[in-house]
Amino acid sequence: MKIVKMKRENLSSFLEAISREAELWAPVKKGVDTHAFQVVKDFSEIDLNYTRTILPPRKILVPSRFNMFQATKTEYTPDFSHVSNKIIFGIHPCDISGLLTMDKFYSYAIEDPYYLESRKKAMILGHSCWPDEHCLCKSTNTHIVEEGYDLFFTDLKDFYLVWIGSTQGDDLIRLVPDLFEGEIADQDIQRFMQWREDRDKAYSSEINFVAMADLMELRYNDPVWAKLGEACLACGSCTNVCPTCNCYNVEDRPVLGAEHSNISRCWDACTLENYSGVAGGENFREKRADRLKLWYTHKLQAYISKYGKPACVGCGRCIATCPVDINIKTVSDSLDGANPDAFWNRLSQEVTK
Contact residues: ligand SF4, CB under 6 A: 136, 232-238, 241-244, 271, 299, 312-318, 321-324, 326, 328
DSSP state string for 43-61: GGGB----S--SS-THHHH
Q: Which helix (H) or strand (E) holds 30?
A: strand 23-30
Q: How far is the CB of 196 from ligand SF4 (least distance, A)?
A: 22
Give the Cα separation of 325 and 340 in Å (integer).
10
Which CB sits closer to ligand SF4, 104 or 260?
A: 104
The distance of closest approach from Cβ of residue 132 to ligand SF4 in the complex, given in angstroms and rounded to an integer, is 12
Contact 70, 260 (CB under 8 A): yes
Residue type (1 letter), 15 = L
Minimum distance, C-beta of residue 330 to ligand SF4, in the bound complex (Å): 9
Smallest gap, in angstroms, from Cβ of residue 251 to ligand SF4?
22
Nearest CB to ligand SF4, comparing residues 90 and 316: 316
Nearest approach, Cβ of residue 243 and ligand SF4 (Å): 5
Q: How many residues does the chain have?
A: 353
Would you give the end-to-end CA distance of the chain in angstroms? 52
Nearer to ligand SF4, 124 or 322 (CB): 322
Closest to ligand SF4 by CB, 68 vs 136, is: 136
Closest CA to 196 of 160, 156, 149, 137: 156
What sign has the CA pseudo-torsion 323, 326, 329, 330?
positive
Q: What angle do CA 38, 40, 45 make, to 5 degrees?
A: 95
Among 311, 315, 292, CA closest to 300? 311
Cβ proximity to ligand SF4: between 184 and 270 the closer is 270
Closest separation between CB of residue 153 and ligand SF4, Å? 22
- CB of 277: closest distance to ligand SF4 in angstroms? 16
Q: How far is the CB of 56 from ligand SF4 (least distance, A)?
A: 8
Taking the complex as a whole, the smallest distance from the CB of residue 186 to ligand SF4 amounts, in Å, to 37
159/267 with CB nearer ligand SF4: 267
Q: Phi and psi (nearest 5°) for 104?
A: -65, -45
**Interacting residues of 190 by C-beta distance below 8 A, sequence separation 6+:** none
Cα separation, 79 vs 69, in Å, equals 5
Instruction: Determine the residue type at 142.
Output: T
* Residue closer to ligand SF4, measured from CB, 256 or 351: 351
Distance CA 98, CA 244 (A): 5
Choose between 97 and 172: whose C-beta lies nearer to ligand SF4: 97
216 in Cβ contact with 335 (< 8 Å): yes
Between residues 247 and 263, which has the closer beta carbon with respect to ligand SF4? 247
Q: Give the span between the Cα atoms of 154 and 126, in whole angstroms.
A: 8
